[in-house]
Structures are given as structure tokens and as C-alpha cells.
Structure 1
Amino acid sequence: MSYPSGPRRLPPDPSGCVGGPELIGDSPAIRRLREAIRQVADSRSTVLISGENGTGKELVARALHDLSVRRVGPFIAVNCAAIPETLIETELFGHERGAFTDAHAARKGQFELADGGTLFLDEIGDLSLRAQGNLLRVLEERAFTRVGGTDPVQVDVRLVGATHVDLDTAIRDGRFRNDLFYRLNVVPLVVPPLRERRDDIPRLLHHFLARHAGPGQPAAELAPDALGWLVRYDWPGNVREMENLVEQLLALADGPMICADDLPAKLRSRAHAHGLDQRVRTSRASLTDAVAAFERDLIADALERAGHVQTRAARLLGVTRRILKYKMDALGIPVLRPRARAQGRKAA
């Protein structure tokens, strides 16, 4: 049985860094997280990792396993959000032969496969209430029964859960069990988003530029103006978004130096908006600046959707191309080559 992002045994992390590349950096937030990982790695206590999507929660779980005495045992990761509710019990606890129509043989679940090691349940906040109740019994009794079975199965598993969901809100809304939360949240770890550790952004960017360099090719470099935009950007998709952007920039780059003009207009607009927001918060931005930033964001978004074809962007905005060009000049929005034409020229 297979499903997207399902259970998998992960190879050891070759980066040499606690938590892998997602936890590279010297910011106070990352140093605190790495130290917490080292402190609790050998504990048997359940760990609950929280953080936004793309921050590297699975790498934290991997580091907890690799630094513990369980590192000789299996590390199995399961994305709970990817498993249909009707299959979650079978996937976690296994089934006996004849338990249901297609159960032609007994099958171990992920808890049995992780015996002696670590079971990482990602997106644990997406489990149904029924599945949450079954999980709670395993945590309390250290045993479970396969679907269709009667004999309890004892396991020695360290459970690490992760979620991007605010579980306090989910508990108030009746979507998550309060008793399970306390069983999971014995050791809470929080992975900070990139916008809270901007000092780490240059180092992470250089790491991904080196990782995705072509065979035998030196890593591309970031011009100072490009790096400035990338540091100011808020990175809503965090490290995962950063790596995807680096791959995109390298695929489209005309040379070994990536400049500000190579960055997506929407990214530059959002980075500019962040700078404006900081000035507004400190009462250093005027109404004129705020309106200009709003217009710049709208135009950059339209240009991005239109592949930088100004006629199409003007149509999206409901203005003439002449007015769009006037606004672009007034707001300092650079004129970029239409995307299809630029890519076609490079392919040629």
C-alpha cells in the first residue's frame, strides 16, 4: 500500500549539522533549538515539534533520533495528512489476515516497524478524533492490537509528533483531544520561521547554491542587491520555498552571478512591503509611501501572472498599457523580459 509522502525509512543525515541544512545558522533562535535537541535526544519522553510549513520539523525529528541511543534502530516518518481516515488505523497498527476483504495476509503497522527506534508522526494535528483516541491508548499502555486481532502487541517506540496547526485552538474547537495533547507535549520544540532568523538567510542561500550547482560547476554567486532583497523577504514557505527559489534562479540564470533583476517581481514587491511595514510600525512612512507600496505590489503581482508581458498585465489591472508603463516608471519597477521569450532564448 502506498500514498504520497507516506512512511519511509530515512538515511542518516550527511550534512554533519544537527538537524541538517534547515537548521544551519548562528541566530539565537537556531542555537537554542540545536541545544534543546541535544539535551532531550536521549530522553524517552514524547516530543511535539511545532512550526510553520517548510521550517524543517522532520529534520528536527531526524536529529533527535540520530543523537539518541535509538540511532541504531529504525527511524520511520509518517505524514498523517496523506493517509485517508479509513486507512490510518491499519497503517499505524497493522492488521491480521482476514481483518477485511483484501487482508490476505497479516501486515505489521508503522508502530511495529519502528520498534526499538523512533516513529515520527508529521501533521499529527490532522488525525481524526477516533485515530487520536487509538494513539492515546498506545502512549498510555505501550501496546496496541492489530486491526482484526485480539492479542496485544508490545512495542518500544519513541514517538515524535509535529504539526503546523495551533493545537490550543484545535482543542477549543473540539478538533483535538486535550488528553492526547498533554501526552504528546511532554517536550515541546518550536522551529522558528525564516523571518525570525534573517541573519541565517545568507548562509542558507549559499548552502543551496552550492548544493544545486551543476556537476563540476562552481556555485553561483548572489550580487549584493539580490542578497539584500532576499534578506528582506518574509519567506512564507520558509526553507522549502528558499530551496525551490534557488533551483528556479539557477535554471534561468544567464551567468554565474544572480542579480536583483533575476528575482521574481512578486518577491521584490513583498520584500519592499516588509521594509515599508517596518517603517510604518516606527512611524517613519507617509501615506504617500504606503499607497505607492500598495500600487507596486499590485503591479508586480500582475506582471508576474502575465509573464512580464505588459499588455497582459495592463489587462489584468484594468488599465491601458500606457498607464501601466507610466506607473512602472514612477514606482521604479524594472522592465523585465517576457518570461516565455527569455526562456526560449536561453534554450536556444
Structure 2
Amino acid sequence: MSKTQSVFSYDLAGIVVGETSISDVQGDKGLLSYRGIDINDLIGVPFLHVAWMVIFGEWPDEQEKSNLKSFMCRHARLSHAEQDLLGQISRDLHPMLMLQGLIPLLQMPEEDTLGKGLDAEQGLFIAAKLSGLIAAHNRLGQNKVILHPIAGKLRHENFLTMFHGKAPSPEQVRMLDAAQILQMEHSFNAGTFAGRVCASTLAPIQSSISASIGTLFGKLHGGADQAALEMAVEVGSPENAAAYVKDCLANKVKIMGMGHREYRTVDPRARVLKPMAVELCQDAQSKNLLATLVAVEEACQQEFSAKGKEIWANVEFYKGAVFHSLGIPPQYFTSMFAMARVYGYIAHFLEFRQESRLIRPRASYVGKSPAARDQSAA
């Protein structure tokens, strides 16, 4: 950057671009809260109740709980038209690309049945459809029949049944609830900010959520969960971890899932997920993968400590081990992330629309001047 150029930030690090009352990330302290409630106090609360609180800033009353549960179950069921759309997509297409492409094609509801406004209605409709689309995409990829949700079942009980074709254990449902609550919302992360930029143009909520999901797919964002587990498979065993880490650092290769842009101490979500992974990973393969991840984290900490620095695993690092133990294939990890983070996207869309302004930053031009271009042409 020349001395005559204005100061700018390529990555907007430290730049305040708005206000929010949805979540608070205190990176220096390793704290995360939704609507003023520490995430540790939300583990064990029914998933959909937390989603409602994140979106609307208040807990649902009894009637709202009942209406929400029925609404989400009803719309998780794919219509014949939606199944036909999904059937036109390659079975090998990554689930995140499938979601990004199909969300704008869904027929949005045109009536507010939940009493929270049409934007909220449509957002929750999309959230419900994500679980049906992900499960159906997995089933079709195995040449199996698409399954539908059963009324009265819990949100993630239905999802795991539709995904695997068999009912999960209560413990598996509890673990998935916890993991999804932990990744429901995280302030102005890249995916959320992309959605806000889209919303600032007055594009509809399905466009905003599609933009957010496309951004979440990247390995430097949500895609790190798949990359971290694939790394553990590549490393092979805990004994290989130290050599792997040394090689990565020597060649300036990023170790996915280690460190976080916001947290300067332990990611509070990883602090919860790590013991969950230990509890869930009981078969030989899962135990080896988890032990390898632990060994990679310890090797990273030793290497950074020698340089007087600290580094910790983030939420993506151990989340893959939890999902793997639930029988979720790695290529579906990030779509599971989207299935949870969509509630944060809805909350931010609604919050931003209360005082919407077109987001249009300026760029510092460093190309040729018209005069210079004319001279070169002559």
C-alpha cells in the first residue's frame, strides 16, 4: 500500500460495522452468550425453544411451543415438487451446494401462521426444510427411499431417523441438541455478514440465507469441521501427530480447526464439545480419530508454546468427532452446521430489517489512470 493511499482493512478485522443484541462474543475471555444468556446455561434446554429465543429475544409461551413444534415437523416433510427438485440434482453434489441452490427454489409460504410476521414465517419454513433436504439427499445418495418426520417427535429425533432410517437413542438426540445449540449463532461471522449484505439490498430472506450458506461452505469458515476430521484420517494415529504438525508448520500449511479469529483463549463451544466427543466415541475407529485429534491439538500447543504463543482447538475441531460418532458422513458435517446456524441467520435478517441500509463500502483504486492508459495506447 503506497503512502498516498487511504488506510483500509482487507478483512475488516476490528472494524465495527453495526450493532446487534442477538449474541455477544467476548473473545479475550472465551465467553459466548445468546440474548444475554451464557451458552453453557442453554445446554439441556429444548433445541427449538432456544431457536425461538435467539430469533425473537424471548422464550416461547406454551401455545407458541406447541405451534412451533407442529410447524417445524410439518414443513420438514418434503412435498412432491421438492422431492422432484432434489431428484434432478447429482447424488454426488456436495450437500452445501445442494442447499445453496435449492433454498431460492422453495415455494415460500404467503401467510403468517405463527403471528411473528411473514419474514419470520418464511425463515422458519426454510429452517424446517433444511433438515428434510439434508436427510433426503443422503437417502437418495444411497438409493434408499426418502423418509418423512413423525408428528410428536423431537426435532433432532426426527432428523436422525429420516437420515439413517432408524430411531436414535435418547443420548444421541441429547448430544445432537447440544452440538447444534452451540453453533446456532455467533455474531457477525462471515456467513452472517454475507447474509446482512444481501438483506441490505432488500433481497428476500431466501436469498439472504442462500448467500450465508454459500459463505459458510468455505474451509476457513464452516467447512473446517469436515477438513479437521479428514485431517485426522490422514494423520492416521496419535503417534503420527507430532510429525504431522511440525511438517505443516514448516510448510506454512494451515491446520484446520486450530485457533479462532475471535477467541484468544479456549473457544467456549469446544470446551463443551470435547468431553461430549470423549463420551460418544466408543468404537475403535471413533476412539482412534478422537485420540488423533487430541494429539494434534497437544502437538500444536507444544509448538506454539515454544514460541511463547498459545493456540486452542475451535468448535470445528471436535465437532466432527461428535458428528462421526452419530453416524454422519464427513461431507454432511457443514450442512449440519447450516441446519443450526440458520436460526442465527433468521435472527440477523429480522434485526437488520428493522433499520435496513444498503451496505456499500468504498474501494481504493490502484489501477492505471485514464491519462496513463491513453499514453500506453498511443
Superposed pair shares fold, TM > 0.5: no
Larger Rg: 1
**Structure ranking higher in strand proportion:** 1
**Structure ranking higher in helix proportion:** 2
Q: TM-score scaled by structure 2?
A: 0.23
Q: TM-score scaled by structure 1?
A: 0.25
